[in-house]
Amino acid sequence: MTRIFQLFKSDAALVKRLARGDDDVLAVLFETNIRMISRYVLNNRGTEADAKELLQDALVILWEKVNKGEFDLQSKLSTYLYAVVKNKWLRELERRKRYTGIENLKNNPAPERDAAVQLQADELAEIVRRCMDRLQPLCRRILTMFYYEERSMKEIKEATGLANENVVKSKKYQCKKELERLVKLAMV
């Protein structure tokens, strides 16, 4: 497998081979990316089987896009596959959370919340969502990764390309303060 990979000098060459129907490229991409994908999935409440299935799905998506002429190589193939896997996995985790939440409600019904309290919580959530949309893309990305995806500073550093974890912490703090400022303004 590595011999085949050595024949390709770049991701662009891999894409060309894939467009010509060389399905061996898919096996090469699987072998060269499974470790990175497994690490991500295992670190985010998944299994090795989940990782393999997600990478296979991502490779099918890549193959379809290349064969339809819809794939534009803008980054490394590994980055593209990682992004597809990440999006699919986050959707799967959300689906699992909803399913688990429904099962928990059936088995352990919670006391009903006061309608006014629920309305306030919903309004605050909507304000925060609107304010997040107004943040710079980097801030939005950092806060989402830290608070919603529960990613570590190291993972955020790698995903954003910031210099080190201290820079990430500092930027996260600045972004959080900006979000708080926007929320306060929106609530006035």
Give how many domains the chain has, as a whole number.
2
Predicted structure pTM score: 0.51
Where among 35, 59, 91 does a domain terminate? 91
Match 């309290």 to its residue by tokens. Answer: 117
Q: Which domain holds residue 157?
A: 113-187
Report which residue type is found at 118: Q
Give the mean pLDDT of 71-81.
88
Instruction: Give the domain CATH number at 155.
Output: 1.10.10.10
Residue 145: pLDDT over 70: yes
Within a 13 Å sphere around the CA of 129, how many CA atoms are in the beta-carbon half?
6
Instruction: Give the domain CATH number at 14.
Output: 1.10.1740.10
Q: Distance between CA 6 and CA 74 in Å, rounded?
A: 22
Q: Which pair of structure tokens corresponds to residue 57?
A: 């799905």
Residue 103: pLDDT over 80: no
Q: Distance between CA 170 and CA 138 in Å, rounded?
A: 13
Q: Distance between CA 20 and CA 139 in Å, rounded?
A: 41
Residue 85: pLDDT over 50: yes
102 within a domain of the structure (yes/no): no
Co-location of 85 and 153 in the same domain: no
